[in-house]
Amino acid sequence: MSLESPNEVVTKALLRLVDVPGLDRPAALITLDNGFDHRKPNTFGPTGLAGLDAAITDALAAEPAFVAVTGKPYIFSVGADLTGLPLIADRDQALEIGRLGHRVFARLRDSAVPTFAFVNGAAMGGGLELALHCHYRTLSAGAAALALPEVFLGLVPGWGGTQLLPNLIGIAGAAQVVIQNPLMQNKMLKPKQAAELGIADALFEPADFLERSLEWAAGVVRGEVEVTRPEVDREMWDGVLYFARKLLDEKLHGAVPSAYRALDLLALAKDANFGTGTAAEDEALADLIFSPELRSGLYSFDLVQRRAKRPAGAPDKALARPVTKVGVVGAGLMASQLALLFVRRLQVPVVLTDLDQARVDKGVAYVHAEIDKLVGKGRLAEGTAAKLRGLVSGSVDKGVFADADFVIEAVFEDLAVKKQVWAELEKIVPAEAVLATNTSSLSVTAMAADLEHPERVVGFHFFNPVAVLPLLEIVRGERTDEATLATAFAVGKELRKSCVLVADAPAFVVNRLLTRFLGEIFAAVDAGTPPEVADTALDPLGLPMRPLALLQLVGPAVAYHVGGTLHAAFPDRFGVSENLRLIAESGQPLLVDDQVNPEVAKLLAVGDTPLTAEQVRQRALDALAEEARLMLDEGVVAEPQDIDLCMILGAGWPFHLGGITPYLDRTGTSERVTGRRFLPPGIATLPA
């Protein structure tokens, strides 16, 4: 059977024999290398696996003292070549791709000659599984990350990962790496953590990693180095998995089938019967390869990997102007986070201003404290931190903006206040300075209307918390010119945000959809649906947060305010909820221990036409389909994929649902509500 994939970038397995001091036979060193630099990491497709198989044969034929596998600079291997997956035609082929990986990797595990993985760089998915098949592992302290992220995409670590990892480091660590890290925390392991968990037997500095690894391996072969491993406690196996399943049920409500498959496989690993375990992995892979969740995961992956890096509609970057000093107007919640981000990523002077000295001082103190925290966590060197602290300053005198070439405002969400800020600043800043607004919902065009140079005003909409959410909606006002837009995109990229170009329409993309969605939840409550029924109605989707928790995070007053802007623009679709107003005005916390605060519940005005959870869910999804369609028809964004990217990166829309528009298509919602799909059938299945 041919498994070849036309898109495979083949990773070669290059064999060389190396003399190692103290051994009378050479070592066979296999280096994985696809011929590109680290930006195109090593992956395994069918041809690459066949090459590895051949290299292992040649290595063993040389009767070496040991066999070791390592990677190209910075990259060990990031796992399976995903481009081949959508081309798999039938179940037999799907089974075969699992078996092929197992068969080739098992040669390292079954070898009579000792085998080592010298994990010099990033090791993910199948790359880490290959290392797990080796008898011993060394790890570079400079490796970017180790992870088994498969369940996040809709797969399982099916080349031995679910069987070998728990039997190496114990079930608790394995459940963390296979389930919790990818699904709930989006986390990867740093080398030190991986070593502490017992994934690596030795950790060496990157400078002389290969030499040290070879020496260490020679010591192991000669019996001079003792390798200690964590004891695997089988007593706790069932208990750990019981709690892992409970956590999955609570957080995702059954929405991610791959995670449940992974749990079943981890359970099977308790008997350490690899024959049974690997056969079950093959079956799981074959099932999941054809699941809508994997297709969705691949679609999301492609958006985040490729579209986010080359934003649709971004102007020629040659037009961008250099930014050498940044002014931040406001020193509140958003402004102080923005000051931190700008100074950290651009490393240019950043100056904050606000209405009084106390607020300015608070903003600057916040930035300093956050820099200290980064140093404490080892994410910033003290030397850099000192430099960054020196670059941040504040003043109540807006005169300090006289030489700023990029000014961003994050003052109160009030058009009159923002217009006044810009009118005042236009007299101070240089003629070419870009004026960016972090408004959540106001018109960029209106804000610029009375300025002498409205063409240099652009929307720069970040999401709270700024350090966590990767999205930046860049808003083109009616008069924003290309140089301003190009500068905004260049700055966004330097800030390491994923930029999406949006038109100047009320509340742009994410806030408009979230407000419409919350509007349906509140309409249900206003009608008499118990808040807990409305709040849990979307649980089967496995969204990262329930609606009321989202509202609490955004702040009921802010949500009410944005709702008001949208109501003014689109009164037919954005109602004003009486209950949301009551909650916003009460100023009380909405949730206590994840439950509706009884004090708040008492305030709610309840109608007499309650809906069922299913009705609430359908109305909310119908509303999203209608709103997304209108946004495309109005040209708020160019394509459905941009809406998906915004919702994934700005609102945490889950990967496993594969973007909001394919989900609405797949469930038939878009056709029922708007008469047509967002994407042609099939588009959400190919990573292209």
Ligand X SMILES: NC(=O)c1ccc[n+]([C@@H]2O[C@H](COP(=O)([O-])OP(=O)(O)OC[C@H]3O[C@@H](n4cnc5c(N)ncnc54)[C@H](O)[C@@H]3O)[C@@H](O)[C@H]2O)c1
Q: How far is the CB of 465 from ligand X (least distance, A)?
A: 8
Tell which one of 295, 359, 456, 567 touches ligand X (CB under 6 A).
Answer: 359
What lies within 8 Å, CB to CB, of 550 at 6+ separation is 514, 518
Residue nearest to ligand X (CB): 332
Pairwise CA distance, residues 547 & 536, whole Å: 8
Closest contact distance (angstroms) between CB of 500 and ligand X is 15
Contact between 413 and ligand X per CB under 6 A? yes
Cβ atoms of 170 and 233 within 8 Å: the answer is yes
Given candidates 11, 31, 77, 438, which one binds ligand X under the rule CB under 6 A? 438
Q: Shortest approach of ligand X to residue 439 CB, angstroms?
A: 5
Coil vs helix vs strand at 326? strand
Phi, psi of 586 (to 5 degrees): -65, -30
Residue ranges in 558-597 that form contacts with ligand X under rule CB under 6 A: 558
580/555 Cα distance (integer angstroms): 11
Rounded Cα–Cα distance for residues 31 and 13 (Å): 6
CB atoms within 10 A of CB 21: 8
Tell whether residue 400 is a contact of ligand X (CB under 6 A).
no
The residues, ordered by sequence, that sit 6+ positions from 484 with a Cβ below 8 Å of its Cβ are 434, 455, 456, 457, 458
Interface pick for ligand X out of 281, 293, 354, 665 (rule CB under 6 A): 354
Q: Which of 97, 155, 280, 331 binds ligand X (CB under 6 A)?
A: 331
Distance from C-alpha of 118 to C-alpha of 198, rounded to nearest angstrom: 15
**Whole-number Å distance between alpha carbons of 285 and 99:** 10
Min. distance of Cβ 531 from ligand X in angstroms? 23
Determine, following the binding rule CB under 6 A, whether residue 353 of this chain makes contact with ligand X.
Answer: yes
Binding mask 23-62 for ligand X (x = CB under 6 A): ----------------------------------------
- Residue 534 in tokens: 């409305």
| Phi and psi torsions of 70, nearest 5° | -140, 180
417 counts as binding ligand X under rule CB under 6 A: yes
332 near ligand X (CB under 6 A): yes
Binding of residue 410 to ligand X (CB under 6 A): yes
> How far is CA 685 from its chain centroid?
20
**H or E stretch including 416?**
helix 415-426
Interacting stretch for ligand X, rule CB under 6 A, among 236-244, 262-270, 373-381, 408-416? 408-416
Task: Check residue 551 for interaction with ligand X (CB under 6 A).
Answer: no
Which residue from 42, 77, 278, 440 is in contact with ligand X, where contact means CB under 6 A?
A: 440
Q: Should residue 412 be labelled a site residue for ligand X when binding is judged by CB under 6 A?
A: yes
Please report, as a single letter, which amino acid is at residue 443.
S
- Residue 335 near ligand X by CB under 6 A: yes
CA distance linking residue 16 with residue 245, whole number of Å = 46
CB atoms within 10 A of CB 450: 12
Q: Check binding of 460 to ligand X (CB under 6 A).
A: no
Nearer to ligand X, 334 or 485 (CB): 334
Q: Which of 142, 137, 143, 126 is nearest to 168 (CA)?
A: 137
**Cβ distance 436 to 475 under 8 Å?**
no
> Would you say 290 or 412 has its CB closer to ligand X?
412
Residue 14 or residue 417: which is nearer to ligand X going by CB?
417
Q: Least distance (Å) from ligand X to the CB of residue 578? A: 23
Strands of the 498-503 sheet, one edge to the other: 392-394, 350-353, 326-329, 406-409, 434-437, 457-461, 471-476, 498-503
Shortest CB 555 distance to ligand X, Å:
7
Interaction pattern, residues 258-287, with ligand X; x per rule: CB under 6 A? ------------------------------
Q: Which is nearer to ligand X, 97 or 434 (CB)?
A: 434
Residue ranges that bind ligand X, judged by CB under 6 A: 329-335, 353-355, 359, 410-413, 417, 421, 438-440, 462-464, 558
